[in-house]
């Protein structure tokens, strides 16, 4: 099995687990480092994100916001602004917020159109996979190179680093997966229970403004 086939095989296995079944909790924790081009005027930044998903609930925590959702409600909490946005649930939110599922979808498209896929086995036991997309893919996405660090012993992707061309505001973006547990013992409570005690906001959210965008 060559380098590309190994990666495709991994994607196939991960795609079969991209959505939790009833009773399962998925727990993913990752950091994203983004470096912008020098003429963009934007400073480099790193965000840490933790995502818990079940078949019908989701909880997301990162440096800037928290999201709590189920089949009825979605809450977006912005601590810096002291605001909580309350919306009707939308099934698409579970796909839009699932960054690992998005990665799998993009990865398959990239591999299908790759010009070259090379593997280098490092002394530390990890495998560095370098993917160069074809000209058409690079033109559409501005992505010119991808470096994937894969751990063959644990059969998981450790990190993904994307390099972009000069037309992109982003110069480089690196995602490091710190935890991927597809059978977590964690429990996710309902979004209402996460924020409210009775009819009042919990002390952690005292004084926050609630913007109710629900439609009856």
Is residue 86's pLDDT more than 90?
A: yes
- pLDDT at residue 1, as a whole number: 56
- pLDDT at residue 19, as a whole number: 76
- Quote the Cα angle for 128-117-178, to 5°: 35
Of the pLDDT bands very low, low, confident and very high (cuts 50, 70, 90), residue 90 is: confident
In CATH, which superfamily holds the domain spanning 3-212?
A: Lipoprotein localisation LolA/LolB/LppX (2.50.20.10)
Measure the CA–CA gap between 118 and 108, rounded to whole angstroms: 16
Phi-psi map region of 155: left, alpha, beta (phi>0 left; psi -120 to 50 alpha): left
What average pLDDT score do residues 154-168 get?
Answer: 92
- pLDDT at residue 13, as a whole number: 80
Of 166, 216, 196, whose CA–CA distance to 40 is shortest?
Answer: 166
Of the pLDDT bands very low, low, confident and very high (cuts 50, 70, 90), residue 67 is: very high
Lowest-confidence segment of 64-73, 75-84, 86-95 by average pLDDT: 86-95
Lowest-confidence segment of 38-47, 169-178, 193-202 by average pLDDT: 38-47
Is residue 187's pLDDT more than 70?
A: yes
Of the pLDDT bands very low, low, confident and very high (cuts 50, 70, 90), residue 106 is: confident
Average pLDDT, the chain: 89
Of the pLDDT bands very low, low, confident and very high (cuts 50, 70, 90), residue 65 is: very high
Of the pLDDT bands very low, low, confident and very high (cuts 50, 70, 90), residue 216 is: low
The answer to whether the beta carbons of residues 160 and 32 sit under 8 Å apart is no
Measure the CA–CA gap between 44 and 76, rounded to whole angstroms: 25
Interacting residues of 59 by C-beta distance below 8 A, sequence separation 6+: 51, 52, 53, 66, 67, 68, 69, 188, 191, 194
Is residue 168's pLDDT more than 80?
A: yes
CB neighbourhood size of 53 (10 A): 25
The number of residues in the chain equals 216
- pLDDT at residue 94, as a whole number: 65
Secondary structure percentages of the chain, helix, strand, coil, to 5: 20, 45, 35
Phi-psi map region of 170: left, alpha, beta (phi>0 left; psi -120 to 50 alpha): beta
- Quote the Cα angle for 66-71-75, to 5°: 25
Is residue 61's pLDDT more than 70?
A: yes
pTM recorded for the entire structure: 0.83
Interacting residues of 136 by C-beta distance below 8 A, sequence separation 6+: 113
- pLDDT at residue 134, as a whole number: 93
The answer to whether the beta carbons of residues 31 and 47 sit under 8 Å apart is yes
Q: How far is CA 200 from CA 47, 65, 84, 193, 194, in A?
A: 30, 20, 13, 11, 12
């Amino acid at each position: 099995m060559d380098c590309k086939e190994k990666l495709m095989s991994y994607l196939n296995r991960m795609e079969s687990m991209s959505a939790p079944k009833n009773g399962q909790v998925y727990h993913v924790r990752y950091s994203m480092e983004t470096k912008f081009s020098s003429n963009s005027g934007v400073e480099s930044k790193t965000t840490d994100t933790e995502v818990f998903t079940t078949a019908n609930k989701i909880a997301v925590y990162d440096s800037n916001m928290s999201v709590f959702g189920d089949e009825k409600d979605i809450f977006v909490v912005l601590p810096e602004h002291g605001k909580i946005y309350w919306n009707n649930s939308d099934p698409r939110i579970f796909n839009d917020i699932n960054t690992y599922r998005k990665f799998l979808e993009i990865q398959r498209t990239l591999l299908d159109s790759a010009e070259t896929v090379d593997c280098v086995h490092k002394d530390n036991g990890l495998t560095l996979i370098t993917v160069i997309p074809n000209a058409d893919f690079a033109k559409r996405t501005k992505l010119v190179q991808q470096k994937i660090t894969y751990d063959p012993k644990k059969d998981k992707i450790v990190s993904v680093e994307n390099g972009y061309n000069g037309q992109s505001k982003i110069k480089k973006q690196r995602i490091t997966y710190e935890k991927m547990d597809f059978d977590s013992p964690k429990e996710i409570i309902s979004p209402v229970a996460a924020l409210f005690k009775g009819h009042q906001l919990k002390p952690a959210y005292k004084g926050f403004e609630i913007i109710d965008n629900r439609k009856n």
